[in-house]
Amino acid sequence: MQALLHQILSGLANGAIYASVALALVMIFKATHHVNFAQGELAMFSTYMAYELIHAGVPYWIAFFLTLVFSFIVGVAVERLIMRRMQHAPELASVIVFIGLLLAFNGFAGWIFSFTMKEFPSPFASKAWYGTTYLSSHEVGMIGVTLIVLAIVFAFFRFTRLGLAMRAAAENRPSSRLVGIRVGWMLALGWGLASALGAIAGMMAAPVVFLEPNMMGPILLYGFAAALLGGIDNPWGAPIGGFLFGVLENVAGAYLVGSHLKLALALVVIILVLVFRPSGLFGRTVVVRV
């Protein structure tokens, strides 16, 4: 029983990372109907930025916020310079460009920072008061940071004019344009926010999985599974899907499939959801008119 509880709780901790990635994916999907295959690699690149800053002597939390700014700018730049041209392109073309971005970020990261694994510091002291026998303090911190970030993101979209404008731009472009919203910039801002969210996931994950150019590969797949589980067009569902998948992954990994098949588990979840309930647990069913 104790072991099970332990698995569930640390599953929640991993789930926090998937929740951030899933929310980032959903934000871009809702606004542009693109699935960002490069989300993970963008996050990894930002995490290297944080690593460099910390090693240059910048205190952790300042480096953290500088990294968020950096990844926000990278996200906006990618949207304005590259994805903007893919707006009316067929799906295949956009997928290809995303895969191109994935390869490019991965390759340049390996080129610049090498493929050697690096240890990434955790901001949470290893014997802090909030650490328990079930969860290390980093895991508790990870959950805490994610919940705070989720709260901020939802408050932003719910209570600010800019958030409202961004939601409007994602929902209905022509009408938003008619009421004076600069739709193009809203999409770019959405990209920036998604990229920053991914960076948080990267910085939280790096102390656990170690920093290397391929570190986000599995996490991205889990993020896909999480987003689909929660409903890929539902910003509330995605984080819930993230936590759910985290628990599922850990419990199934411990008792069912073993630790060597977690990626296959994600694949199975993705296919099952897509085949039996494409709208996810909380998503809307879309009816296409012929």
9 binds another protein (CB under 8 A): no
For the segment 196-215, give every residue that binds another protein (CB under 8 A): 213
Q: Which residues does 67 contact at the CB level (< 8 Å), separation at least 6?
A: 46, 47, 49, 50, 53, 199, 203
What is the closest distance, in whole angstroms, from the C-beta atom of residue 99 to another protein in the complex? 6
For the segment 99-128, give every residue that binds another protein (CB under 8 A): 99-111, 114-115
Nearest of 159, 232, 154, 149 to residue 197 by alpha carbon: 149
Torsion (CA) 128, 211, 192, 269 in degrees, nearest 10: -90
C-alpha angle with apex 22: 37 to 75, nearest 5 degrees?
Answer: 55
Q: Give the Cα separation of 124 and 133 in Å (integer).
A: 16
286 binds another protein (CB under 8 A): no
Which one among 43, 270, 280, 283 touches another protein, defined by CB under 8 A? 270
Q: Quick one: tokens of 227? A: 């987003």
Identity of the residue, 275 or 287, whose beta carbon is nearer to another protein in the bound complex: 275
179 binds another protein (CB under 8 A): no
85 binds another protein (CB under 8 A): yes
Which one among 2, 56, 90, 126 touches another protein, defined by CB under 8 A? 90
262 binds another protein (CB under 8 A): yes
CB-based contact 165:181 (threshold 8 Å)? yes
Q: Quick one: tokens of 79? A: 């949207």
Question: Which residue intervals of 114-236 are DSSP H helices?
Answer: 137-159, 161-171, 173-178, 183-209, 216-230
Identity of the residue, 26 or 135, whose beta carbon is nearer to another protein in the bound complex: 26
What is the closest distance, in whole angstroms, from the C-beta atom of residue 180 to another protein in the complex? 31
Q: Residue numbers of the site for another protein (CB under 8 A)?
A: 33-35, 37, 82, 85-86, 89-93, 95-97, 99-111, 114-115, 213, 217-218, 221, 224-225, 228, 260-264, 266-267, 270-271, 274-275, 278, 290
